[in-house]
Structure 1
Amino acid sequence: MSKAFASQNDSTDKAISFSEVGKGLWAFTAEGDPNTGVIIGDDAVMIVDAQATPQLAGKVIEKIRGVTDKPIRYVVLSHYHAVRVLGASAYRADHVVMSDTARSMVVERGQEDWDSEFQRFPRLFRGHESIPGLTWPTMTFGGRMSIYLGKRRVDLMHLGRAHTAGDIVAHVPDQNVMFTGDIVEYHSACYCGDGYFSDWAGTIDAIGAFNPDAIVPGRGDALVGSRMVGEALDNTKDFIRSTFEPIARVARGGGSLKQAWDACRAECDPKFSTYAIYEHCLPFNVARAYDEALGIDTPRIWTAERDLRVWEQLNS
């Protein structure tokens, strides 16, 4: 292989922030690493996205215990990716919640995704020995589900395909705050390797229709206020468009994957090269956009072996 995956050389610990984005609503962020949302109700706590390992989840729990001693009863997972779900056991929650589609993706490709992400991003999997296995939900739903933490209602919704086929958001209507998972990012690249470029902008528009007062995105700083929210929604849509359109032109014109890579970089580097995990995401984004442009609707499964083949093809 010509060089290591971009994130294999990223060994620097990130500074953690824990900020309140609404009454009893918190964002655990770490300079572009995966975020976790915390929803404190009258009688219990809900987690939105669990982190990659129990060790990392322990850092979230430490922050939670600085603001409440209420029991953690729910872990909601916005999608199936390993960096979001494999830390779930640390919370000892009564229920783990996913969409029906996300659970089906754990069945179909959960182990392959774990193996792939472990190879790509070793720093996030420090302490991986404590992961008990794949994370399975105790509750699933289709389009919408409401959970009550005492009087506080949390609406879980599948608003459309985007980062994966099974993405969900968590909306807390009493504060009009939304936890979006990786549908929305802020100053971080979108990982599109399992995404749906043609649907993504419409799903973001469905989020925007709520006019959220704050959003906890999948990566990057918490977004508080209409200006930051609007900027992040627009910027995420621009990232998706700027990635897909040049690649689609190459693919539909009979060009190679390497030519699509070059076209994507020409469009995206000037705008996004300083974003967190930009170089990490590029090979997977290019490969998926190329496939989708040629009519392949369902993303092909990423395995550790396929990762290496694509990386070598694009970087040799």
Structure 2
Amino acid sequence: MAKAFASQGDLAEKTVSFTEIGPDLWAFTAEGDPNTGVIIGDDSVMIMDAQATPRLANLVVEKIRTVTDKPIKYVTLSHYHAVRVLGASAYGASEIIGSDICRAMVAERGQEDWDSEFGRFPRLFQGHESIPGLTWPTLTFSDRMTVYLGGRKVELMKLGRAHTAGDIVAWVPDAGVMFTGDIVEYKSACYCGDGHFKDWGATLDRIKAFNPAAIAPGRGDALVGEAMVNEAIENTRDFVESIYRAVEIVAARGGTMKEAAAKVREICDPKFGDYAIYEHCFPFNIARAWDEARGIDTPRVWTAERDQQMWAALQG
């Protein structure tokens, strides 16, 4: 029987958790759905990743209001993907922060990504009518930016390419806690369709060098404690490298993308087959790894039409 396209068959609502991972630092997680980070300072709140719609963002706001009544001043975007950014309007923030590359990617491919992800994730886009349009960062930076929430310092940094070319992390030094977006996942497949496989490991090394006491990952449970943090970092590394090595071997010997997909199945299904969104991500990950192995540095723009073509070719 043919597999339902992407996550069209995943219609069950997820159980939400709201976990304190450091003093006044919270991770909103939902069984492999996109996570949101919450940083509470002396006078205001910063959000890390906004959710796919205002409907979902309002669930985050409800959780925030159980622990603070401080105003939400900043929404920070770890990257440009629609499921991370299109709920931003619900927070009423005065500024939306992202990397300069993130803003450029919104301009270059934001609408195509919205159309693509709308088809992939129908459950996440319930209530999409309330999305006012593309989410544009109002403050951008190239490498590093410091934001003060009263006396609490938040360091926003671009540590390298990984999930996208414009990924950033948020580091809260007083607590030793990092919000990584989709650079790090926990028991969830990495979506690599806009990824940079050969750079991802070095970016993970830079995260690991901070020796975080806790991490709010892009998907999966909050990571508290050195053991859990390191497990997630190394598992993410294994996921990305396993895919790329398999595809690179087949590409080097002149094989086909279909053969590369079979090689990835052989290596990755036993290790990662039960991870959240594994089958969803599979064809998009193979397509991007295939391009990178053949020297295409900048990921091609994903469209709803290309989504369907890759799904039919590799999941049909």
Does the pair score TM above 0.5? yes
CA distance in 2, matches of 1:113, 1:15: 26
- Partner residue of 2:191? 191
Please say if residues 97 and 138 of structure 1, whose CA atoms lie closer than 8 Å, have aligned partners that are also in contact. yes
- Partner residue of 1:34? 34
In structure 1, give the amino acid aligned to 2:149.
L
- Partner residue of 1:179? 179
CA distance in 1, matches of 2:6, 2:298: 26
- Partner residue of 2:253? 253
CA distance in 2, matches of 1:59, 1:155: 26
Please say if residues 74 and 96 of structure 1, whose CA atoms lie closer than 8 Å, have aligned partners that are also in contact. yes
What SS class does the counterpart of residue 288 from structure 2 fall into? helix
Please say if residues 2 and 312 of structure 1, whose CA atoms lie closer than 8 Å, have aligned partners that are also in contact. no
CA distance in 1, matches of 2:56, 2:157: 26
CA distance in 1, matches of 2:124, 2:315: 24
* CA offset digits 1:19-44 (Å, max 9, x no partner): 10000000000000000000000000
CA distance in 1, matches of 2:138, 2:296: 32
CA distance in 1, matches of 2:50, 2:11: 21
**Is residue 58 of structure 1 aligned with residue 58 of structure 2?**
yes
- Give, in angstroms, the shift of residue 2 of structure 1: 5.2
Please say if residues 78 and 169 of structure 1, whose CA atoms lie closer than 8 Å, have aligned partners that are also in contact. yes
- Partner residue of 2:281? 281
What SS class does the counterpart of residue 6 from structure 1 fall into? coil
- Give, in angstroms, the shift of residue 256 of structure 1: 1.0
Unaligned runs of 5+ in 2: none
- Partner residue of 2:146? 146
Change (3 A) 1:44 1:236: same
- Partner residue of 2:162? 162
- Partner residue of 1:105? 105
* CA offset digits 1:139-182 (Å, max 9, x no partner): 00000000000000000000000000000000000000000000
What SS class does the counterpart of residue 125 from structure 1 fall into? coil
In structure 2, give the amino acid aligned to 1:186.
Y
What SS class does the counterpart of residue 219 from structure 2 fall into? coil
Please, what TM-score do these two structures have when normalized by structure 2? 0.99
**Is residue 130 of structure 1 aligned with residue 130 of structure 2?**
yes
- Give, in angstroms, the shift of residue 255 of structure 1: 1.0
CA distance in 2, matches of 1:242, 1:258: 16
What SS class does the counterpart of residue 7 from structure 2 fall into? helix
CA distance in 2, matches of 1:314, 1:190: 17
Please, what TM-score do these two structures have when normalized by structure 1? 0.99
Report the identity percentage. 70
Unaligned runs of 5+ in 1: none
CA distance in 2, matches of 1:3, 1:151: 51
- Cα RMSD, aligned residues only: 0.9
CA distance in 2, matches of 1:274, 1:7: 14
CA distance in 2, matches of 1:137, 1:212: 27
* CA offset digits 1:39-62 (Å, max 9, x no partner): 000000000000000000000000
Runs of 4+ in 1 over 6 A off after TM superposition: none
- Partner residue of 2:16? 16
- Give, in angstroms, the shift of residue 315 of structure 1: 2.7
The count of residues paired between Structure 1 and Structure 2 equals 316
CA distance in 2, matches of 1:288, 1:137: 26
CA distance in 1, matches of 2:3, 2:143: 43
What SS class does the counterpart of residue 123 from structure 1 fall into? coil
